[in-house]
Structure 1
Amino acid sequence: MARSLVVKVTCGSEDAERCNQAFTVAAAATAAGADVSLWLTGEAAWFGVPGRAEEFVLEHATPLADLIGVVVANGRVTVCTQCAVRRGMVEGDLREGVTIAGAAVFAEEILADGVQAVVY
């Protein structure tokens, strides 16, 4: 059985390389068969909204929309509750397959046996 990976991305377009790296690692781990949970926090929360990942451009990088699509299809993508509230988002605003959850769920995921957590 593959290990589980929780990736938390805390930045958006203002730190494009770090942001893209988080999505790349999450998608690559998903493709490798890991159970992946991608958490969108801070400015990254906007990528949970349809069309926002499509607007992100980073030269020589896989499009963010493709990367989030891989994780949504094969793993879990979650927007932080507080981050969503601060940005006026509700579940109905999010792309299909993306949910909103809080710190208790994040803590439960990262404290489970066999989980590796990384924060970008």
Structure 2
Amino acid sequence: MSDKLIFNCTYGKEEPERATLPFVAANIAAATGQDAIVLCTIEAVWLGTQGGTDGIAQPGLPVLADLYAEFVDNGGQVWLCGACAKPRGITEEHLVKGSTIVGAAKVVEEVVAGAMTVAFA
């Protein structure tokens, strides 16, 4: 069984609360030594790009740019859905520290290996 935790994030700038909450939970996991991944799909793929978290702040929650950096510093990984990144023109050269473009096969591999998933709807 895997000890990975995958937190799915589907929202970006248009929904600051929904964009931030998966990073809050994932950062708690990473800070306590868990293998934490935020899987960004749909509009959330922009969060792993240069300037992608700029200006995203929900009252009562950490500023997303700061939280993103803290999460990565705590050992967290940000996976961007390749099928979502491609039609948006997002390539490796657009990524910030800690983010990687992955295919669905990688996600399925981790889930089959026992990774637990958390979704914020």
TM over 0.5, shorter chain: yes
Structure 1: how far apart are the matches of 2:67 and 2:113?
Answer: 25
- Alignment TM-score, normalising by the size of structure 2: 0.88
Moved over 4 A (4+): none
AA matched with 1:34: Q
Number of residue equivalences: 118
Give the deviation of 1:102 after TM superposition. 0.8
AA matched with 2:10: T
Specify the alignment match of 1:96 in structure 2: 97
Gaps in structure 1 of 5+ consecutive residues: none
Q: Which has the higher helix share?
A: 1
Specify the alignment match of 1:33 in structure 2: 33
Give the deviation of 1:72 after TM superposition. 2.1
Give CA-to-partner distance per residue, 1:56-100, whole Å, 9 cap, x none: 121111111122113323021111101111111100111122110
Q: CA RMSD in A?
A: 1.6
Q: Does 1:81 align with 2:55?
A: no
- Alignment TM-score, normalising by the size of structure 1: 0.89
Decide whether the 8 Å contact of 1:71 with 1:77 is kept in 2. no
Decide whether the 8 Å contact of 1:9 with 1:40 is kept in 2. yes
Decide whether the 8 Å contact of 1:30 with 1:70 is kept in 2. no
Q: Secondary structure at the match of 1:56?
A: coil
AA matched with 1:87: R
Q: Does 1:63 align with 2:63?
A: yes
Decide whether the 8 Å contact of 1:38 with 1:71 is kept in 2. no
Give the deviation of 1:19 after TM superposition. 2.0
AA matched with 1:31: A
Give the deviation of 1:14 after TM superposition. 2.6
Q: Secondary structure at the match of 1:52?
A: coil
Gaps in structure 2 of 5+ consecutive residues: none
Decide whether the 8 Å contact of 2:8 with 2:118 is kept in 1. yes
